[in-house]
Amino acid sequence: MNRPGYITLPIITVLFCIGYIYYTTVFVAIEGWLRLSTAAGLANAAVFTALAVLCIATYTTAVVKDPGRVPAPFVPDLETPYSAIHEIKRKGGDLRYCQKCCHYKPPRAHHCRVCKRCVLRMDHHCIWINNCVGHENYKVFLVFLFYAVITSLHSLVLIIGNATHNVPNKEDLPSNDSRTSTIVCAVLLCPLTLAMSVLLGWHIYLILQNKTTIEYHEGVRATWLAEKAGNIYRHPYDLGAFKNLVSVLGPNICLWACPTSGHIGSGLRFRTSYDLSPASTPV
């Protein structure tokens, strides 16, 4: 079993794809269409290089950053004024307790069978980063997807532009190797861009409702049970679209695209729609 943070085949595959796409885009597509010796070619190469560096930096951070550990002495405080609800087991109604980790589970925490420990505000375990996506690295994971989609779209535009560029002289026709590299890169980029765009859109949808992937699936079942009983289910952590965005991305809009996470608190308590004090914040 591969431990989180260790180099695995999927991680090597992702890094290889980034390197291959970068080489083909800059030294084949841009050079063949705009030329690196021109201002337009140099500007596109500089922008694409910056985006590629951001992709690698955020991806590496998502791989190595701990998603959030439950402190060993953690015990739910039933009398705390800023946490009006406490998650309980489906059966029995007891406070959630992890038999494998031998401690109580904070709200929104779940045990990962791959990482073999409980993860704060766990969203899912991602094989492509060999790590869980949780409280501490969720924003970094999201920012990586954002930059990856922009970089892929930029690459596709340059590759399509190179492919449709009318070469005036036969001497300037691209070699077979260049054409093959361009075709392989385009075939790789099309499904990759589509998949990452869908994934980014899915997580934006989740953020707007302040849900994790696990909570979404749990909410589907809770909604069905509530409707069956004639009630209405409301996700307890939904504070409104903007406040939901702020709780994940931070209060400073200018830093939303930065892989920072110092604003998110301990991950042991979260504001809910039932809080008595609207000004209360997680600690």
Confidence of residue 271 (pLDDT cuts 50, 70, 90): confident
Mean pLDDT throughout 105-129? 94
**Which of 152, 267, 154, 136 is closest to 199 using CA atoms?**
152
What's the CA angle centered on 15, arms 68 and 189, to 5 degrees?
A: 110
Confidence of residue 4 (pLDDT cuts 50, 70, 90): low
Q: What is the pLDDT of residues 23-64, one digit of tens each?
A: 999 999 999 999 999 999 999 999 999 999 999 999 999 999
Q: What is the pLDDT of residues 201-244, one digit of tens each?
A: 999 999 999 999 999 999 998 888 888 888 888 899 999 999 99
Mean pLDDT throughout 82-101? 67
What is the pLDDT at residue 178?
83
Inform me whether the pLDDT recorded for 273 exceeds 90. Answer: no
Tokens of 114: 């791959």
Tokens of 83: 């946490």
What DSSP line would sit under 46-110, residue for residue?
A: HHHHHHHHHHHHHHHHHHHS---BPPTT----TT-TT-----B-TTT-PBPEETTTTEEPPTT-E
Share of the chain above pLDDT 90, in %: 64
Mean pLDDT throughout 4-14? 86
Mean pLDDT throughout 98-111? 92
What is the pLDDT at residue 266?
87
Residues 189/159, Cβ–Cβ less than 8 Å: yes
What is the pLDDT at residue 280?
46
Inform me whether the pLDDT recorded for 259 exceeds 80. Answer: yes
Confidence of residue 92 (pLDDT cuts 50, 70, 90): very low
Q: What is the pLDDT of residues 155-211, one digit of tens each?
A: 999 999 998 875 555 455 556 678 888 999 999 999 999 999 999 999 999 999 999
Point out the residues that are catalytic: 126
Share of the chain above pLDDT 70, in %: 84
Inform me whether the pLDDT recorded for 1 exceeds 80. Answer: no
Inform me whether the pLDDT recorded for 281 exceeds 50. Answer: no
Q: 89: how many CB neighbours lie within 10 A of its CB? A: 11
Q: What is the dihedral of CA 235, 241, 243, 248, to 10 degrees?
A: 80
